[in-house]
Amino acid sequence: MLIDLSKAYNTNQSSSNEFETKVLYFITEWFSESKTVKIQSSGSTGLPKIFDIQKSKMLNSAEMTCDFLGLKEGDLALLCLPIEYISGKMMVVRSILRKLKLKIATTSLNPLENVNEEIDFCAMTPLQVENSLDKIQLIKNLIIGGASVSETLKEKITQSLRPSNPQTKIFETYGMSETLSHIALKQTFPNPEDWFTVFDGVDISLDERGCLKIFAPKLNSEILQTNDLVEINDKKQFRFLGRIDNVINSGGAKIFPEELEKLVKKGISNEVIFLGIEDEKLGQKLVLVIEDSRLDVLDSELENLKDEILSIKFEKSFHKPKEIIFVEQIPRTPNGKVNRLELKKLIKN
């Protein structure tokens, strides 16, 4: 389905599947007299919440992204994220604001499967990008959100795009439902960056724990306190270190699992998650969970993979996992984020 939002919206447009029906319903809701729409949080760090958001603030967020990427009227955007969440809704709002043509694809893990034309703008999860590398050159501006972009995926993106030298620009996002999608971007391709750069109109600071505080009055009237440990420089940029509620205290040493996951993913393509499991002696025992669907048939290969990980030169001796556990599938929320709480329950059973 293609919705041309550079023209007057056709309220009689028909859908061919459930996803298209939901998108059309949201657009109708957007053009209603109500000044707010309902947003559902992802539930990746707790129970999902539903709350009302002012349309005017969503338009402010959309303008920040559109201006940053230089999107213009008539450009073609691709929607392949669930419309229930802020990520999908904001793709529609950006298209409405900038009068884009909006192509409705699929929320599957391979959203470009039936796409053959050039796309000016798209947002995907890392898993969707992983499965779209053969066509990623079709997209001029791609933003990746929902989870961090692994070093392995960054390398795969570079290998896929360098030979054709396309005009593609890819950015990793930072944001949450309360900030109406992202408030900062860092480039992944063609010029990889280590620091997120916040949009104009957004101020950042640290609390006493070293966690990020966000003041973005155009998006939210309150100062947003996150549980994200970051480092801030003098250029309105920050570097993500990890979530404080994910920090593992093992034998009195604080361990940032996201930093270790980034290191391990430089060498293997599997999804990996470090967890702290209760331990009488250490308080929390460092455990590495590896996702691999080959559990029943390739035990020897899995043992080799385990040996490869244990041979990694970790910065500290206590960064080496005390135990490595393989699971066929790591639990995820409906929008693709790893659900650490459910994973911890899974490996305890």
Peptide bond between residue 163 and the one before it cis (omega within 30 degrees of 0): no
Q: Is the pTM of this model over 0.85?
A: no
Task: State pLDDT tens for residues 212-226.
Answer: 999 999 998 899 999
pLDDT at 336 exceeding the cut of 70? no
CA triple 290-176-134, angle to 5 deg = 55
Confidence of residue 109 (pLDDT cuts 50, 70, 90): confident
pLDDT at 349 exceeding the cut of 80? no
Residues 90, 92, 97, 103, CA torsion sign = positive
Number of H helices, E strands in the chain: 8, 19
Mean pLDDT in residue range 163-191 = 89
pLDDT of residue 298: 60
Confidence of residue 202 (pLDDT cuts 50, 70, 90): very high
pLDDT of residue 48: 63
pLDDT of residue 271: 86
Domains of the chain (ranges plus CATH)? 2-201 (3.40.50.12780), 247-348 (3.30.300.30)
pLDDT at 6 exceeding the cut of 90? no
Share in percent of the chain as helix, strand, coil (round to 5): 30, 30, 40
pLDDT of residue 148: 80
Can you say how many angstroms the Cα of residue 121 is from the centroid of all Cα atoms in its chain? 16
pLDDT at 10 exceeding the cut of 90? no
Helix ranges restricted to H, 199-284: 257-264
Task: State pLDDT tens for residues 240-273.
Answer: 988 898 999 998 888 999 989 988 888 887 889 9
CA atoms within 13 A on the CB side of 160: 21
Single-letter code of the amino acid located at 288? L
Strands 76-79 and 101-104, bridge-based pairing: parallel
Task: State pLDDT tens for residues 14-34.
Answer: 888 899 999 999 999 999 999
pLDDT at 139 exceeding the cut of 90? yes
pLDDT of residue 302: 77
165: left (phi > 0), else alpha (psi -120 to 50), else beta? left
Please state, in angstroms and rounded to a whole number, the distance separating the CA atoms of residues 277 and 285. Answer: 5
